[in-house]
Structure 1
Amino acid sequence: MFEAKTRLSELVKQAQQGEEVIITTGREKRPVARITPIEKPQIRRLGLLADPGYKFPDSFWDPLPEEELALWEGGAE
């Protein structure tokens, strides 16, 4: 554990390079912690957003007609 505290920066760099670092304690060198690299999450786009060139039409931002707005707000059909 003492060695890990004094070499923490080096151990983190090893993890950044893809290595898994196990920290041990005591004379028996019992494993107590693990430093592993964090993988970047993969961004998955669905539907229309899967196409990076897709643009919403300007009318997308227009206010809803009163009848449709009433339906969204729980009004009767």
Structure 2
Amino acid sequence: MTEHVDAREVEARLSDLLQRVERGEEVVVTRAGKPVARLTAVGLERERPSGSVPFEVPQTFFDDLPDEELRAWE
């Protein structure tokens, strides 16, 4: 589970938070309740959900839409 910690609290708890990050946890730093940064361990790969595969956007994704499709969006 990702913990959300206010930026001011990070200053007081940095050592503890870094230990948790080293164990593989993730910490989101917030300011006024809004996420502004993420603490993660360097060099640790995040696990993908079971059964997931890498996704690549096909080059055709960037092709112009046919006129009929463009009209449908107008």
Q: Which has the higher contact order (CA 8 A, sep 6+)?
A: 2
> Which structure would you say has the larger Rg?
1
The TM-score range, normalised by the shorter chain, is 0.3 to 0.5
- Give the TM-score normalised by the residue count of structure 1: 0.46
User: Quick check: which one's strand share is greater?
Assistant: 2
- Give the TM-score normalised by the residue count of structure 2: 0.48
